[in-house]
Copies of this chain bind each other. A is one copy, B any other.
């Protein structure tokens, strides 16, 4: 009795977990999409968590960010412009029909000159209320531009890894067995150091008549390198112990199999931590191929790594695993 208990616990403890759990679910949803994002929608988030303003403003496209920024600038100027206009244009000294602007637009441009702290002074506030509003606008302008410019620089300087992955994961001959392989390269010219990678395999399994999604960490030939200067071919050796042992294209498809590759390391220019991931669905796995070389023959004293060959493969004869006597 005692023995069984400990065995169960030990077994559970040794199971490598990637944080997905083993959820009872008959959905064939792909947990991770090709770009490595998770297909998980959280229901019941608080407004603040849903909004996640900073995260959104940093990660949105540059076009969207430009629109948001300009929209913000316009809105603030319109709002303050209206306020100045309503208080009375006579409180803006220097407004004069001869300047070719209607009263409202004088107020609007005065607002923009205040908010940006340009303050030409052709138009300037007189009277208490307008002076107070202008004083507040200059204050808020400085504060809101600090957010805007902080975001801009944050976006500009954010370390975005550009790891390229081969389009397909392949099962290729490896030593005298076979291996599941994925090839990666760092598209940027800067160096990544202390780089670690992992491979996670998931598939549906029928347990007691219920379809459950199971996740397995795949043992790698090598999961850490000091530098990532060239390409790196991740290899999971398919030994008899491997969960992939005996799998075929058909069985992978039937079990809705998926492979998640992650890589993390340190950018040596800024000492930033970088993380990237990529998912391969069963139909992005090819069996009986091997990767073609990426290094070009070079005559000079520089190695030439051809990134366009990252996904190039050649047909290869798989090793037949010998049965032990």
Instruction: Please give the residue numbers on chain A whose beta carbons come within 8 Å of chain B beta carbons, in ascending order.
Output: 1-2, 4-6, 8-9, 12-13, 17-21, 23-31, 38-46, 48-50, 52-55, 58-59, 69-70, 73, 77, 91, 93, 99-101, 105, 109, 112-114, 116-128, 131, 134-135, 138-139, 141-143, 145-150, 152-154, 156-159, 162, 175-177, 185, 187-191, 193-195, 198, 200, 217, 221-222, 225-233, 237, 239, 262, 264, 266, 268-275, 293, 295-298, 300-309, 322, 324-325
Contacts and interface: CB of A to CB of B under 8 A. Distances in A.
B122 A101 contact: no
Contacts of A40: 229-230, 302-305
Contacts of A4: 176
A2 B150 contact: no
Given A154-B157, A303-B29, A307-B43, A101 B131 contact: yes
A131 B158 CA distance: 34
Instruction: State the majority secondary structure of interface residues on A.
Output: mixed
Contacts of A275: 193, 266, 268, 271
Given A41-B302, A122-B121, A307-B45, A152 B156 contact: no
A306 B42 CA distance: 6
Number of copies: 4
A168 B55 CA distance: 30
Contacts of A143: 69, 148-149, 152
B105 A114 contact: no
Given A58-B269, A152-B143, A298-B27, A41 B304 contact: yes
A174 to B, nearest CB: 8
A271 B195 CA distance: 15
A2 to B, nearest CB: 4
A175 B12 contact: yes
